Amino acid sequence: MNQDTIDLAIFDESHLDGAHVLSREANWPHRREDWAMVLSLSRGFVALEDGAVVGTAMMTPFGDTAATINMVIVAAEMRGRGLGRRLMDRALAAAGPLECRLIATAEGLPLYEKLGFRATHEIRQHQGVPDGIAAVAMPQSGRVAWAGAGDLAAIAALDRLALGMDRGPLLHLLAKAGRMAVLRAADGQVAGYGVLRPFGRGEVIGPVIAGSEEEAQALIAFLMAARPGAFLRVDTPALTHLSPWLAACGLEEVGGGIAMCTGPARPGPSVPCKPFALASQALG
């Protein structure tokens, strides 16, 4: 590859088909619709050779504190030649002073470390068809129900508290694309939530925000029960210890990634809730 023959451009809707082809060649599960959702929230960049998409990267801002860097992919025949670095430089420049977060593969880890990212924890990807174990009644199951139209503001506030960034626009899109469940405290306030929506080969459960592992299991079990026989995916931070339970429910661990961020290490916030499943590896 001659770097002079590669043009870097702003990612727009005209590039979605080419990006989808690129990701399918890399065995990513993303549908064109999944690309379009991320693009609608992001500022993206594409590498073009003779008009064909040969690389992508996106920066998705969440409020005025943080952003995710995502959908970073380079055509197989062009890897190892600096194109990924050029795309990352564009995405990081677009993020400006925002703290940046991403999920890295083992192959991408060296580049991200050179760019100032540090590893924080592992992400474990589970997928499959639940075998019914999740439907067993749990102490918290009676607190879970489908979200109402007036719950979105409380869900967004809880999400912001757990993650330290404002994902309100994303949550509005997820509410339109899928279904939301809430777990209520004794006073009726929203104390946890989960989302079920189409993604990739089937459907994804996430985000899931809750105050405890038991509450997260109740939310996930409720969403699993809504889609008997469906192929489901859950991406969970290894820090939550949900992996053995998900495997027991029939969702096999099939890989994952490494969560990374820029900025100095600092203690996690002392909050009553935390993330137990991601919206996606692109969107945290």
Interval 56-109: pLDDT, tens:
999 999 999 999 999 999 999 988 889 999 999 999 999 999 999 999 998 899
Distance CA 129, CA 195 (A): 17
The pLDDT-based confidence of 3 (bands split at 50, 70, 90) is low
234 with 217: CB under 8 angstroms?
no
| pLDDT higher than threshold 90 for residue 142 | no
Q: How many CA atoms lie within 13 A of 126 on its CB side?
A: 25
The pLDDT-based confidence of 271 (bands split at 50, 70, 90) is confident
Give exposure, 245-269, as e/b (b: 16+ Cβ within 10 Å): bbeebbbebeebbbbbbbeeeeeee
Longest dimension (CA), the chain: 64
> What pLDDT shows up at residue 1?
46
- Spell out the SS3 assignment of 205-257: EEEEEECCHHHHHHHHHHHHHCCCCCCEEEEEEHHHCCHHHHHHCCCEEEEEE
Share of the chain above pLDDT 70, in %: 94
Give the best-scoring range by mean pLDDT among 132-136, 232-236, 265-269. 232-236
188-212 per-position pLDDT tens digit: 999 999 999 999 999 999 999 999 9
**Residues paired with residue 8 on neighbouring β-strands, in sequence order:** 47
Q: How confident is the prediction for the chain on average, in pLDDT?
A: 93
144-160 per-position pLDDT tens digit: 999 998 999 999 999 99
Distance CA 27, CA 40 (A): 23
Distance CA 117, CA 68 (A): 12
> What pLDDT shows up at residue 29?
95
Average pLDDT of the segment spanning 209-231 = 95
The reported pTM is 0.93
